[in-house]
Amino acid sequence: MGKNIALAYLPWDYCQPGRALAVQYFGETYPVEVASVGYKPLYDPENAKPRS
């Protein structure tokens, strides 16, 4: 995927895909974007990639 993934609990008002937020981790603040809400897969959501 080429991206870092983090799981987080968000209040419902913040749960919109594409919403920009900031996360503080060990004293550093990082810009993040809500990629998915619920159980939507982030990689190959249409299951189009062949399995080996």
Please list the rounded mean pLDDT of every run of 10 residues in the chain (52 residues): 81 93 93 87 74 68
Tell me the Ramachandran region of residue 35: left when phi exceeds 0, alpha when psi lies from -120 to 50, beta otherwise: alpha
> Rounded CA gap, 3 and 1, in Å?
6
Q: State whether the Cα torsion 17-18-19-20 is positive or negative.
A: positive
Kindly report the pTM of this predicted structure.
0.67
Q: Which residues pair with 24 in a beta bridge?
A: 29
Tell me the Ramachandran region of residue 16: left when phi exceeds 0, alpha when psi lies from -120 to 50, beta otherwise: beta
Identity of residue 5: I
Per-residue confidence (pLDDT) for residue 28, from 0 to 100: 96
